[in-house]
Structure 1
Amino acid sequence: MRILPVLALSTLVAGLVVVVSGSPAQAAALPTGARSLESVNYPGRFVRHAGGLGQVEAVTSGSTAQLKRDATFTVVNGLASPTCYSLQTRDGLFLRHRDYRLRIDANTGEAAFRADATFCAVDGAEAGSVALTSYNYPGRRIRHRDFALWLDATQDTAAFRADSSFRLVSPWAPKTAKGPVIPGLFADPHIASFNGRYYLYPTTDGYAGWGGTYYKAFSSTDLVNWTDHGVILDHGPDVSWADNSAWAPAVATANGRYYLYFSGGLASGNTTKQLGVAVADSPAGPFRDALGRPLVTGSQFSGGQAIDPMVFTDDNGQSYLYWGQGVARAVRLNADMVSFDAAQVRVITPSGYNEAPFVFKRNGVYYLMWSENDTRSEDYRVAYATGSTPLGPWTNRGVVLQKRLDAGIKGTGHHSVVRAPGTDTWYVAYHRFAVPAGNGTNRETTIDRMEFNADGTIRPVVPTL
């Protein structure tokens, strides 16, 4: 179900929806981020969870902090569809229906759960309000009945429309922490700077077995406020040789175009992963498969898994492709950015390496970074080495980013770095277990500063919330 743009312009002021245009929208698009949902026909009552069940209840400025927290949700990318939405609690759980009753549960990543926790937005009973239809039962909507939330069959009555309509208003429990920088479950972020904007290209997370199928792009001028550019490549319709395992995208530019390098697999029991490359005229896509076949096949090289591609372009314009889980490989790319001499592929695996190679250059020194341990482990972390060429040899410098249990931060890894244009200010984007209820398949993306010592070594990055 594709959501059309809102035709009526509305803004959030002091917790109320103020409709600027006089005519209601014909379809609804929701703002992502923290919101509370107020009942249209019972103003002052808000969707909240209590004892694991969804209901509408009165919330005021004098309500307890816990009640305000329970009445606050984060609108995020739909777990089952990027054109719909999911509602995440402050404790990292998701509003979902089970036996048509609305409740909160931890995301299992299974297809049934993702569908149960995904809702599509349509116009509500009043201008500026919305109704939420079930993704997997499109003829049913969330409505309150005796103040309990149910998924009921849509009825063409004024009473039902009012019971199923909500205003998205300012959150009762505003976010106090910095991260994640993009709401929802995203991992393996590649950050880059193109044409005066920063771009993030993450893996869409929250799938059992990391079985996601599409990539989105986000852009920002300040690393704080991000624009969602939607799906830029979908393995389903866009890639003939892969239909799942849409992992770890990375984007480079050359020849006036943009090249998206990605991992892909098949859902038909074939666990072999391969690397592909897609091309676009804009960093925001859409991208199309450049070859119609893999750039690197799973059986092309012995040892390791063909995942986690990354491209570094040196000052002289020469680009290098890096990839691999278990074994790190590197090779010079041809000028077309979509081919290379397989005989020139070099193994550059450093001690402790597991996956996610990333290379950059500063003050004439090359830095090779990677992730250690398994992404499902809270000890997933980033280490690095330095060298005098893009292909090494490399001097191991140790771990530079790791968990911070005093802040509840675990599984910090699969990173990328970017330099603020025209400065020596650097940032590192990485994923962590979603705070507080995440794990190795429920991860979120964040960004911190990355600083250097006088001798060029990287100072340990202190992960922040």
Structure 2
Amino acid sequence: MLPVLAVLAAVLPGTPALAAPTVPTGARSLESVNYPGRYMRQGQLDPVSASSDAQTKADATFTVVNGLASPACYSLQTKSGLFLRHRDFRLRVDANTGDPMFRADATFCPVDGSVAGSVAFTSYNYPSRRIRHRDFALWLDPFQDTAAFKADSSFRVTAPWTPKTNKGPVIPGLFADPHLTVFNGRYYLYPTTDGYAGWSSPYYKAFSSTDLVNWTDHGVILDLGPDVAWADNSAWAPAVATRNGRYHLYFSGGAATGAKQLGVAVADTPTGPFRDALGRPLVRGDQFSGGQAIDPMVFTDTDGQSYLYWGQGVARAVRLNADMTSFDPAQVRVVTPAGYNEGSFVFKRNGTYYLMWSENDTRSEDYRVAYATGPSPLGPWTNRGVVLQKRLDAGIKGTGHHSVVQAPGTDTWYIAYHRFAVPAGNGTNRETTIDPLAFNADGTIRPVVVSL
């Protein structure tokens, strides 16, 4: 990852190192400093007021999200799911293709604006250029150390003209494969960073909450390139478990050549930073025949024994040793249920064990979650059918790769999962949401009522 803030400090006069302002994520509008009442509206600066029509207000509303090219910066997503990006130094909105050029073109890094409380945006891939209006059109222009240029390139971040009305996604931006868990009475969410062509994201972030509504972004907790010697991309579907006061992050990783592999990293807190515990894969890509070594998940039973599950195409399970970083390969079991594709998840309720998984391909709108029950963490398993699937009347597609959590001290349960980003998402532009998980009197799971 480029040291973006250091680059900005070097090229922008008067910008101290690591002093970039933060911008609140979520729905926001951006008002011109020197033309109050005019707002950034797709690729131009237009008047917007209480009497403006609904479309104008919607066009002047962006969701500030995790930078597509760097978590140190931001991207601006429209209500229609497009992203503000520059092309030939002209600002416009386009669908995210996920390739490196688009991600860089759609990522902007904040610096102080011309007046207190305002912000200017430099280009991630052209850090000497800022978003600036000329004749009310938005351009990416070389920085000029003049009062006029600074005013033309400064914006106030305001309340959105079109407020958010639906509850999801729970964290703004493109994130998938969420692992939701509880440590010390607080919820922690560990997702895949999405929006990359080929799912090639190199890093993981962590979020935490006390109420599953308001989330704190704890930043990058593991970056495969600098932090892991054997992988630098495909940071997929993490899971975190704790033992003896230490936290273990199980992750997928890839390199330019070779199969995907599983690793484990350790930290002293749930938010890291994590370090590679072994300096090598926990599960090699060629270690077992059949399926991919991805999608790790760890379940710890009430007796303290932990189990590792993983696999795409073939589901595997094994008891972990007490160190949480090793196992006996001879004890690995294949536990593939009918319909299984990936995303194993196991939990226990009232003495019954539940094995859940995702069916179909994550690029399909029919991506969904099914489950089975059994008497032990290793089965045998009785298939119970599909419990989470698309809801086309609400525009919800591709619901899958989930995790389940129990609210501390209660019999209240929740399911976190991803879906195609609403309204313009697809299999690499996904978002994370959470819904209640309910049970029938016999312990079977009721179909999840997916909601916006």
Scaled by the length of structure 2, what TM-score is found? 0.96
Q: Distance in 2 between matches of 1:352 and 1:219?
A: 33
Q: Give yes or no for the alignment of 1:134 onto 2:127.
A: no
Matched residue count: 439
Which ranges of structure 2 fall in alignment gaps of 5 or more residues?
Answer: 7-17
What is the rounded CA distance, in whole Å, between the counterparts of 1:217 and 1:260 in structure 2? 11
| Correspondence 1:40-55 to 2 at 5 A | 40-49=33-42, 54-55=43-44
Q: Distance in 2 between matches of 1:150 and 1:273?
A: 41
Alignment match of 1:204 (pick from 193, 196, 212): 193
Does structure 2 conserve the Cα–Cα contact (< 8 Å) formed by 1:3 and 1:121? no
Residue 219 of structure 1 corresponds to which residue in structure 2?
208
Provide the aligned C-alpha RMSD in A.
Answer: 1.0
2:218 alignment counterpart: 229
The equivalent position to 1:434 in structure 2, one of 421, 435, 439, is: 421
Q: What is the aligned-residue identity percentage?
A: 82
Q: Which residue of 2 aligns with 1:278?
A: 265
* Alignment partner, residue 162 of structure 1: 151
1:400 aligns with 2:387: yes
Q: Counterparts of 2:170 and 2:132 in 1: how far apart (Å)?
A: 31
Q: Structure 1 residue aligned with 2:30, among 29, 37, 50?
A: 37
One-letter amino acid of the counterpart of residue 433, structure 2: T
Counterpart among 75, 91, 103 of residue 102 in structure 1: 91
SS at match of 1:248: coil
Aligned to 1:77: 66
Amino acid at match of 1:149: L
Is 1:186 the counterpart of 2:185? The answer is no
- Pair 1:449-2:442 in alignment: no
User: 2 CA distance for matches of 1:215 and 1:26?
Assistant: 23
Deviation for aligned residue 1:2: 5.3
Structure 2 letter corresponding to 1:247: W
Q: Which residue of 2 aligns with 1:263?
A: 252
Deviation of 1:394 (Å): 0.1
Distance of 2:34 and 2:5 partners within structure 1:
25
State the partner residue of 1:312: 299
Aligned partners of 1:43, 1:302: CA distance in 2, in Å? 64
Q: 1:130, CA displacement in angstroms?
A: 0.3
Tell me which residue corresponds to 1:344. 331
Deviation at 1:164, TM superposition (A): 0.1
CA positional deviation for 1:271: 4.5
Decide whether the 8 Å contact of 1:310 with 1:323 is kept in 2: yes
| Matched residue type, 2:260 | K
Q: Could you tell me how far apart the structure 2 residues matched to 1:162 and 1:171 are?
A: 22
1:377 maps to which residue? 364
Contact 1:253 1:259 in 2 (8 A): yes
Give the residue type in structure 2 aligned to 1:339: S
In 1, Cα distance between equivalents of 2:76 and 2:298: 35
Does the aligned pair in 2 maintain the 1:77–1:85 contact within 8 Å? yes
1:256 CA displacement: 1.0
For residues 204-253 of structure 1, the C-alpha deviation after alignment (integer angstroms, 9 at most, x for no partner) is 00000000000000000000000000000000100000010000000000
Q: Secondary structure at the match of 1:378?
A: coil
Q: Which residue of 2 aligns with 1:120?
A: 109
- Give TM-score scaled by structure 1 length: 0.94
**Secondary structure of 2:102's match?**
helix
In the aligned structure 2, how far is the partner of 1:91 from the partner of 1:292? 43
Aligned equivalent of 2:243: 254
Deviation, 1:27, is 2.9
Alignment of 1:56-95 (within 5 A): 56-95=45-84
Q: State the alpha-carbon separation in 1 of the partners of residues 20 and 148 from structure 2.
A: 20
Match of 1:424 among 405, 411, 418: 411
Secondary structure at the counterpart of residue 247 of structure 1: coil
The 3-state SS of whatever aligns with 1:230 is: strand
For residue 300 of structure 1, the aligned residue among 274, 279, 287 is: 287
Instruction: Provide the C-alpha distance between the structure 1 equivalents of 2:21 and 2:112, rounded to a whole number of angstroms.
Output: 5
The CA deviation at 1:196 is 1.3
Tell me how far apart the structure 2 counterparts of residues 346 and 366 of structure 1 sit (CA, whole Å): 17
Equivalent position to 2:317, from 330, 333, 341 = 330
Aligned partners of 2:249, 2:60: CA distance in 1, in Å? 40
Q: Is the 8 A contact 1:213 1:244 kept in 2?
A: yes
What amino acid maps onto 1:131 in structure 2?
A
Q: Distance in 2 between matches of 1:31 and 1:171?
A: 12
How far apart, in 1, do the equivalents of 2:48 and 2:196 lie?
34
**In the alignment, structure 1 residue 175 sits paired with structure 2 residue 168:** no
* Aligned AA (1:110): D
- How far has the Cα of 1:28 moved from its partner? 1.0
Contact conserved, 1:3 with 1:28, CA < 8 A, in 2? no
Matched-pair contact (CA < 8 Å) for 2:28–2:157: yes
What is the one-letter code of the residue matched to 2:174? L
Q: Structure 1, unaligned stretches of length 5 or more?
A: 5-24
CA–CA separation in structure 1 for the residues paired with 2:286 and 2:125: 38
> The residue matched to 1:244 in structure 2 has which SS?
coil
What secondary structure is seen at the aligned counterpart in 1 of 2:238?
strand
1:432–1:79: structure 2 CA closer, same or farther, 3 Å change rule? same
Q: Please tell me whether the aligned partners of residues 4 and 124 of structure 2 are also in contact (alpha carbons under 8 angstroms).
A: no
Note if 1:111 corresponds to 2:104.
no
Corresponding residue for residue 143 of structure 1: 132
